[in-house]
Amino acid sequence: MTDLTGKTALVTGSVQGIGLAIAEALARAGARIAVHGIAGDAQIEEVRTHLQKIGSPHAEFFHGDLRHPDRIAELMEAVAAWGGADILVNNAGIQHTAPLAEMPKETWDTILSVNLSAAFHTMQAAMPAMAERGYGRVINIASVHGLVASKDKAPYVAAKFGLVGLSRVAALEYAAAGDKAAGGVTVNCICPGWTETAIIQPQIDARAALHGGDRDTGIADLLSEKQPSRRMSDPAEIGALALWLCAPVAHNVTGTAIPIDGGWTAQ
């Protein structure tokens, strides 16, 4: 098991879904967790308490509107004052589907800001200190849409492809930082395919209804066009990979874009 005692992790969008699952994995390994996301006070307190119960010595919530560089700077300054991020997980993202000709221009700008530019700003703020310490991990959640395209998702796909490219550049620039014993500084993308989160539950329910309420058959039908395994990933599986990438043994795993997609991008 990876021991992250003494390490601090900032996970954007960590109040639910994949972000929360990653925060849970890092918390169980002993990391302090800088929680971030859009949530009310009750949900924030529930997440903080939960992460501390499962192993984090301290979980604190940090505000930061990822649409605005000034707010991101404030977020990163607050985390730096708290001890700084040894591990940075850029997970927060937004989505909107529409044909290219009908995509609102402001939607393009917002999706690029949150899904791509925000990662640039957080990495620029956090990575120099990682290099000084000789250990750092940046894990960017890029989606299979950082590797392959789908119709009606122009800004999302553009942002995720850009995130993979940004990660590769940063990986090269920081590849020689630190050493094997300290763990070095690495930058990687995780590219999930269909993953079972609350946001896709309505689609699952609709497909299951077409098959007499059989949920497994409905999921297989939903995934059949894209994901050959016809099985969803669980957010905890994404968390497990993120945790492994934080281990010293992963010091030479950098600049990668790792799909968890049941064969989607192998086609």
To which residue do tokens 């995934």 refer? 223
Rounded CA separation 157/115 (Å): 10
Concerning whether 156 is annotated as a catalytic residue, the answer is yes
Given the residues 156, 161, 194, 264, the one annotated as active site: 156
DSSP 190: E
Rounded CA separation 212/191 (Å): 32
Q: Do 62 and 88 meet the contact criterion of CB atoms below 8 Å apart?
A: no
- For residue 149, the one-letter residue type is A
Rounded CA separation 188/180 (Å): 17
191, two tokens? 């590219």
Contacts of 162 (CB under 8 A, 6+ apart): 112, 116
Q: Do 256 and 163 meet the contact criterion of CB atoms below 8 Å apart?
A: no
Q: Do 17 and 197 meet the contact criterion of CB atoms below 8 Å apart?
A: yes
Count CB atoms within 10 A of the CB of residue 165: 15
- According to DSSP, the residues that pair with 192 across neighbouring strands are 260
Count CB atoms within 10 A of the CB of residue 203: 13
Rounded CA separation 120/212 (Å): 46
Rounded CA separation 159/196 (Å): 22
* Catalytically active residues, by annotation: 156
